[in-house]
């Protein structure tokens, strides 16, 4: 009986220790989402207003769009860190190539600038 009580006490201490360790790890602010942003420019390196920027989730193939303002900037928030995304821009019949946001890019807000070429 005494051995069983000692075993239970050790098990409880181990669980309490594990629980506090896991709680501390959760508190580090590690998030499962990220944001991508960038600038759309023309061949003359000027910001492009009203460019349509498309973001494609390579797992689901879902596409989200963003229309740039006069500063040429775009952003997409709430992106999963374990999914690769592709991004491209179109304006007046001119497009950029698709650029990849890799799962290996660990930045919380990576920047992908897009240059339209004639």
36 by Cβ neighbours in 10 Å (0-12 / 13-18 / 19+) ranks as buried
CA angle 104, 69, 107 (to 5 degrees): 15
Compute the half-sphere exposure of residue 112: CA atoms within 13 Å on the CB side of its CA. 22
Range list of H helices, the chain: 2-26
Helix (H, G, I), strand (E, B) or coil at 108: coil
In tens digits, the chain (118 residues) has pLDDT values of 555 554 544 444 444 444 444 444 444 556 789 999 999 999 999 999 999 999 999 999 999 999 999 999 999 999 999 999 999 999 999 999 999 999 999 999 999 999 998 7
Residue 29's pLDDT is 57
- pTM of the predicted structure, to 2 decimals: 0.73
What's the rounded Cα separation, in Å, for the pair 49 and 34?
25
Tokens standing for 58?
């390579």
What is the distance between the alpha carbons of residues 39 and 115, in angstroms, rounded to a whole number?
8
Model pLDDT, residue 3: 54
53 vs 88: CA distance, rounded Å: 6
- Predicted local distance difference test score (pLDDT) of residue 4: 54
Q: What is the pLDDT of residue 23?
A: 41
């Amino acid at each position: 009986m005494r051995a069983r009580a000692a075993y239970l006490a050790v098990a409880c201490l181990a669980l309490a220790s594990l629980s506090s360790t896991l709680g501390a790890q959760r508190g580090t602010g590690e998030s499962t989402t990220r944001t991508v942003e960038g600038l759309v420019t023309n061949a003359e390196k000027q910001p492009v207003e009203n460019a349509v920027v498309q973001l494609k989730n390579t797992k689901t193939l879902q596409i989200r769009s963003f229309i740039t303002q006069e500063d040429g900037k775009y952003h997409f928030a709430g992106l999963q860190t374990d999914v690769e995304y592709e991004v491209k821009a179109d304006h007046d019949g001119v497009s950029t190539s698709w650029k990849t946001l890799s799962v290996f890019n660990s930045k919380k807000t990576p920047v992908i600038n897009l240059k339209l070429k004639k």
